[in-house]
Chains A and B, each alone.
Chain A
Amino acid sequence: MRIDASVRADSNGRRPAGPAAVLSVRDVSVAIGGADIVKNASLAIGRGEIVTLLGPNGAGKSTLCRAICGQMPVARGNIRITGRDPYRSRKAKTAIGMVPQQIALYDRLTPRENLVAFGAIMGVPRREQMSRTEALLERVGLGERINDPVRNLSGGMQRRVNIAVALMHDPALIVLDEPTVGLDARSEAGIVDLLRSLRDDGTAILLVTHDLGEARQLGDRLVIMVAGRVRMSGALSDLIARDFAHIRQVRVRNPRLADSHGAPRLMQALGLQPGNDPNSWHAVLKAGDPALTKLFEAMTSHRLQADEIVVKQPDLGWLLEACIRDAQENG
């Protein structure tokens, strides 16, 4: 399925770049070794907004993030953080808090020592370093472990310190690269709550993730990148409602007929295709497609039974797959 041109790139769902945009990326291309890894990407994030950046491996997400964080120059276009170029402006960099995917901490130091050290590196006045450290560690729920070496903390705690460090200089924009990778559900929920509270306080957040659930939960808007290009951008509900409202995903799991073994033939006759799981059958149909009516009629006329019959609007995973297919078909 070809993606509607109206949602290609970033034409909709983007806040107009200007004073309100904490981050503005306009038609940016980033080259490594002469090859454009990011091609004409655009996006914007305002205060109190979480934008999730999704895409398969090799999409150019990390390269775009490095350019946003001022670690790489852009080949074309421009990036502005609070109106300044992060590659050239020290002031722009004071507005960025970066949370790498790795636990980028001094693991023999305590959380308190890490925060104070990074506060100094980030230019936080000495008199404010300790008070900010304690407030942040309290906020991320580590008030009682501030004097334990980081290496002795659990993975979830280390992740929270990893985020707290990025907040020491009170940045307007936080860039997080898979902040919950490898965490259990409870620890992940803690990070999600923390990011929501930061958003509620007005921080702009760019969240790079492969976790579709996290992207759905947290993202006020989504940006999907494939092969260096932004393929879709906007709020998930808007994207679906505007361009995919007429689409239905159908899934029938383990279909059975009471009096014969002809269930697979019936599924094929109804226009469903086997999925990766041989007991699962799928179709993408337009709302009101007669095949959908036939499916439900078959339930009575052929006494079709199944463990699960799902008919739903496309979800984020489907959008992502659609973008990947579109990139493969149209470049």
Chain B
Amino acid sequence: MRRAIFMIMLRSLLRDRGALAMSFILPGVVFAIFAVIFSGASGGALSVRVAVADLRNDAASQSFLKELFANENVRRIDMAEGGRDSVVAKVRDGASDVGLVVRGLAGPMSQPTVGGLAHIEMITDPSREIASSMLSGIIQQAYVSMLPGASPDMRFFDRTSATPGSDSFSAVAYYAGAVAVMFLLFSSLTQGLSYLDERENGLLDRIASGPGHLGIVIDGKFIFMVALGWVQVAIVFLVAWQVFGLDLPSQIGPWALTTLAASIAAAGLAIVFVTLCRTRKQADTLGQMLVLVVSALGGSMVPRFLMPPEIQAIGWLTPNTWALEAYASLFWRGDGLDALLLPWAVLASIGLAAVIVARLVTLAPRSGPSER
């Protein structure tokens, strides 16, 4: 009898192409994607972008920088003009993960400090602490290489935040945004699955045979999902504010609009996804996989700067990246509204375009589920 049950399960699986693909193809595909994202398996090692201003600009500083950038894990972005301010700006706007200024001090670099001042100033972004930690180690290594026999000396460099005052809650702000957007996608998917329940139990047929059409179902669900998503993200940020001290009140207006745009994108993508799926089971399994992959690519699991450059570029195709960029602009870069307009436009456009496609899919004539 056990054999019979086993054979029933096996035959059912072999005859269900969708389940077959999910069972044997999807795990490998998802693993490969995650491996590329998290281990830099695309061929490029983890690379920290370092904006450099060499104010000293002599043989010693050039030797030090040569030693530093001999390390394959750091990538140099030279600030030929603008000096320190350019480096700070580059780190603030995310174009560089960390900044490095070689101060123009008169004393030899073999002495860690001159008049109590370190030779090297590291400009950090609190949301990319890992990059700063990595660079700290590489600076020590370069210092020792430059001066054979010297011991690592922490006084050789000091650290300055590119966004003063944001250090204490920047990690919280990052994770609030990251978790909220991933949760938003999961939540929208769950709500969207009700569309397939309704299709399977005849509710949609009933509505379609009345004066209303299925477009109203899509619209109604979309509006609800946007509202629910907004409230769910609000709860995450309220906890971040009340428990972890995130300065939400000062950014409440732009935050509300950013969250609205992110909710529109998540709801739209979820609704178009379920309308394209044939069964709830298919949508449920595939949807969860997709949310995980999109969230990983978009930086909801680990910061994108830790990923290979190719994967970082793909991240711009996900709503997570745009939403996280907007939250980053709000909470630690302190950018103006100008910096938010593009993320808002992209997120809202993704969501609205997805709803239009969902409506077209839904309103297209389809054959009945069963014929008698």
Of residues 39 to 65 in A, which have CB atoms within 8 Å of B's CB atoms?
55, 57-63
Q: Is B212 an interface residue (CB 8 A)?
A: yes
Distance between Cα atoms of A52 and B193 in the complex (Å): 35
0/1 interface trace, chain A 119-152, chain B, CB 8 Å (1 if under): 0011100000000000000000000000000000
Q: Is A198 an interface residue (CB 8 A)?
A: no
The verdict on A123 contacting B201 (CB below 8 Å), with A58-B372, A61-B372, A62-B371 known, is no
B210 touches A101 (CB 8 A): no
Q: Nearest residue in B to A107 (C-beta to C-beta)?
A: B201
0/1 interface trace, chain A 62-89, chain B, CB 8 Å (1 if under): 1100100111110000000000000000
Chain A min CB distance to B72 (Å):
58
The verdict on A37 contacting B202 (CB below 8 Å), with A94-B210, A123-B211 known, is no
The verdict on A121 contacting B205 (CB below 8 Å), with A33-B367, A60-B372 known, is no
The verdict on A63 contacting B210 (CB below 8 Å), with A72-B365, A121-B216 known, is no
Distance between Cα atoms of A57 and B372 in the complex (Å): 4
A121 touches B207 (CB 8 A): yes
**Size class of the contact patch on chain B:** 10 to 19
0/1 interface trace, chain B 332-372, chain A, CB 8 Å (1 if under): 00000000000000000000000000000000010110111
B211 partner, pick from A33, A93, A99, beta carbons under 8 A: A93
Distance between Cα atoms of A123 and B211 in the complex (Å): 7
Of residues 211 to 235 in B, which have CB atoms within 8 Å of A's CB atoms?
211-212, 216
Total interface residues in chain A, CB < 8 Å: 41
Return chain A residues, CB-CB under 8 Å to B209: 69-71, 93, 96, 98, 175
B205 touches A98 (CB 8 A): yes
B368 touches A122 (CB 8 A): no
B201 touches A102 (CB 8 A): yes
Return chain A residues, CB-CB under 8 Å to B367: 32-33, 72
Return chain B residues, CB-CB under 8 Å to A94: 210-211
Q: Is B14 an interface residue (CB 8 A)?
A: no
0/1 interface trace, chain B 194-212, chain A, CB 8 Å (1 if under): 0000000111011111111
Distance between Cα atoms of A99 and B202 in the complex (Å): 9
Return chain B residues, CB-CB under 8 Å to A103: 201-202
A62 touches B206 (CB 8 A): no
B203 touches A106 (CB 8 A): yes
Return chain B residues, CB-CB under 8 Å to A91: 211
B202 partner, pick from A32, A104, A118, A123, beta carbons under 8 A: A104
B371 touches A166 (CB 8 A): no
A104 touches B206 (CB 8 A): yes
Q: Is A165 an interface residue (CB 8 A)?
A: yes
Q: Nearest residue in B to A71 (C-beta to C-beta)?
A: B208
Return chain A residues, CB-CB under 8 Å to B207: 121
Return chain B residues, CB-CB under 8 Å to A122: 210-212
Q: Is A90 an interface residue (CB 8 A)?
A: yes
Q: Is A282 an interface residue (CB 8 A)?
A: no
Q: Nearest residue in B to A225 (C-beta to C-beta)?
A: B372
The 22 listed contacts between A and B (C-beta, < 8 Å) are A32-B371, A37-B371, A58-B371, A59-B372, A62-B368, A63-B372, A66-B368, A71-B205, A94-B210, A97-B210, A98-B206, A99-B206, A101-B202, A103-B201, A104-B201, A104-B206, A105-B203, A118-B210, A122-B210, A123-B212, A169-B210, A208-B372
List chain A positions with a Cβ less than 8 A from chain B. Answer: 32-33, 37, 55, 57-63, 66, 69-73, 90-91, 93-94, 96-106, 118, 121-123, 165-166, 169, 175, 208
Those 9 A-B pairs whose CB atoms lie nearest each other, nearest first: A100-B202, A69-B209, A104-B202, A98-B209, A102-B202, A32-B367, A62-B372, A94-B211, A93-B211
